[in-house]
Amino acid sequence: MKRHLISAADLTRDDAVLILDTAEEMARVADRPIKKLPTLRGLTVVNLFFEDSTRTRISFEAAAKRLSADVINFSAKGSSVSKGESLKDTALTLEAMGADAVVIRHHASGAPYRLATSGWIDSAVVNAGDGTHEHPTQALLDAFTIRRRLVGRDAGLGKDLDGRRVTIVGDVLHSRVARSNVQLLHTLGAEVTVVAPPTLVPIGVGSWPCEVSYNLDEVLPKSDAVMMLRVQRERMNAAFFPTEREYSRRYGLDGDRMAKMPGHAIVMHPGPMNRGMEITAQVADSDRCTAVEQVANGVSTRMAVLYLLLGGSEPAVATGNAPAPAASRPSPATTPERGAERRPFDAEESK
């Protein structure tokens, strides 16, 4: 039985709209005196985090707890993984503990796919970010935020993002958020443009369902939503741009640039924000910036994903038929810092 969420590309338009509609109802639970539903009682969700990510982990944790699932947090630091355990042995351990779903964040692209398809575990696998590949729940919550802001809470039910123009700005090369968003927003009918310095545009972007631009000022007046990506300083060791100051000047969003956007347009940021780098404090604190809303929407969206994958006898969304990520798109499937680390996932692959 296929029941995984590995890539945003696996979702059909109807699947995606069902998740967004379900998330809309889940969001209403947050307004109640008792913010809890009994739906996943007795099920165990394991958060398996090989990379640090406090916000994604607590978002999944809050989502699972609001649905009454038991949550086990497993982080690589200070665990058996730091003692050299392979992904397979970790997976078998989780299976033995009776995990019904594994939410995995891994520094290697393709690790969730490997976990889901290797036959090591029976549980559902949810990709919470793998290497530079995908981060599908982030794309879903971004689409949810766009639909809420641009179409409306109730007016948006059952609707996609047909014809909305979304611009994604920044380090597209290393960004799994950008990859997932391009796929999902395209599926939902939006017109996506990615804007980045030429050095931060991945090879093979021509096969993505989006436009590419190197000039932010030209694109802004034609955007309904502008998504600023975090400049990942930890990945900038290869000097992708001359100085931070130059990057900020050409690709940062400040008050003057925001003024060029249409009146209804919103500014999005997946967080954490580097104020003064890709976004100024003036923009980050304006009411057009949805960064905080995105966090709240993240919990609702992840509740919807967990419910639709685990709530019934079989998942309501047909996910998990993904081809191997490396084969599906010619994106760089390696992260710069990988070589220096232990790679339990690769060790398994080469056995």
Partner 1 sequence: MDAQNAAQTTTAQTAAHDRDMRPVLDAQDIARVLTRIAHEIVERAKGADDVVLLGIPTRGVHLARRLAAKLEEITGTKIPVGSLDITMYRDDLRMKPARAIGRTEIPGDDLDGRLVVLVDDVLFSGRTIRAALDALGDLGRPRAVQLAVLVDRGHRELPIRADYVGKNLPTSLRETVKVQLQEEDGRDAVLLGQRTPQATGQQ
* Active-site amino acid positions: 55-56, 83, 105, 135
44 touching partner 1, by CB under 8 A: no
Q: How far is CA 294 from CA 55, 75, 147, 174, in A?
A: 11, 24, 12, 21
Query: What CA–CA distances, in Å, run from 105 to 75, 76, 194, 323?
Result: 9, 10, 25, 19
Task: Give the residue from 288, 9, 308 showing the smallest Cα distance to 176.
Answer: 9
| Residue ranges in 265-324 that form contacts with partner 1 under rule CB under 8 A | 307-316
Shortest Cβ distance from residue 32 to partner 1 (Å)?
6
- Binding partner 1 (rule: CB under 8 A), the pick from 12, 28, 199, 218 is 28
Q: Judged by CB under 8 A, which stretch of 19-27, 173-181, 225-233, 333-341 contacts partner 1?
A: 19-27
| 51 residue type, one letter | E
> Least distance to partner 1 from the beta carbon of 188, Å?
18
Cα-Cα-Cα-Cα torsion 81, 85, 91, 94, nearest 10 degrees, comes to -60
Residue among 220, 11, 240 nearest 127 (CA)? 11
- Residue 39 in the binding site for partner 1 (CB under 8 A): yes
Residue 34 in the binding site for partner 1 (CB under 8 A): yes
Binding window for partner 1 (CB under 8 A); candidates: 17-25, 85-93, 257-265, 333-341: 17-25
Tokens of 50: 């090989």
Nearer to partner 1, 18 or 212 (CB): 18
Query: Contact between 152 and partner 1 (CB under 8 A)?
Result: no
Residue 24 Cβ, how far from partner 1 at the closest point, in Å? 9
Neighbours of 19 (CB within 10 A): 28
Q: How many residues belong to the site for partner 1 (CB under 8 A)?
A: 23
Least Cβ distance, residue 267 to partner 1 (angstroms) = 30
Could you give the CA distance from residue 225 to residue 289 in angstroms, rounded to a whole number? 10
**Residues at the contact surface with partner 1, assessed by CB under 8 A:** 18, 21-22, 25-26, 28, 32-34, 36-39, 307-316
